[in-house]
């Protein structure tokens, strides 16, 4: 079944790109898509979702920044070997406890009422 779908898709793309009639149809579809995109109702949805995405990114940006800083601090403080001046390495006795960071919120958590 999947082979048939791929075949039909290939024939369709070949028609649209390879024939003059197909290119005219492609231009019609491009014009229609542009008209739909410029529709005020569509742009209202676009602006709504852009603002939701921006607020989600701001919330997550702070969490990602904190996690990156904590990870860097943890990596710096948890090195397990020291190199002495005589060339032998010794184990570090610094037992730093790991920093607990809240898990990042995924897209489903950001909009719990929408599915």
Reported as a single tens digit per residue, the pLDDT across 25-81 is 989 999 999 999 999 999 999 999 999 999 888 888 878 888 888 888 888 876 554
In the chain, what are the domain boundaries? 1-61
Alpha carbons 63 and 19: distance in angstroms, whole number: 52
CA atoms within 13 A on the CB side of 9: 6
- 82 in Cβ contact with 90 (< 8 Å): yes
Query: What does the pLDDT look like over 74-111, one tens digit per residue?
Result: 888 765 545 445 555 454 455 555 666 565 655 555 55
State pTM to two decimals. Answer: 0.42
Joined together, the tokens standing for residue 54 give 């921006």
């Amino acid at each position: 079944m999947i082979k048939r779908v791929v075949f039909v898709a290939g024939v369709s793309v070949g028609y649209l790109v390879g024939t003059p009639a197909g290119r005219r149809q492609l231009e019609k579809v491009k014009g229609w898509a542009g008209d739909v995109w410029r529709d005020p109702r569509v742009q209202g949805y676009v602006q709504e979702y852009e603002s939701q995405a921006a607020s989600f990114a701001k919330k997550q940006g702070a969490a990602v920044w904190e996690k990156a800083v904590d990870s860097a601090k943890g990596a710096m403080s948890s090195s397990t070997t020291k190199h002495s001046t005589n060339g032998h390495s010794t184990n570090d006795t610094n037992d730093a406890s790991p920093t607990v960071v809240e898990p990042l919120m995924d897209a489903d958590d950001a909009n719990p009422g929408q599915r």
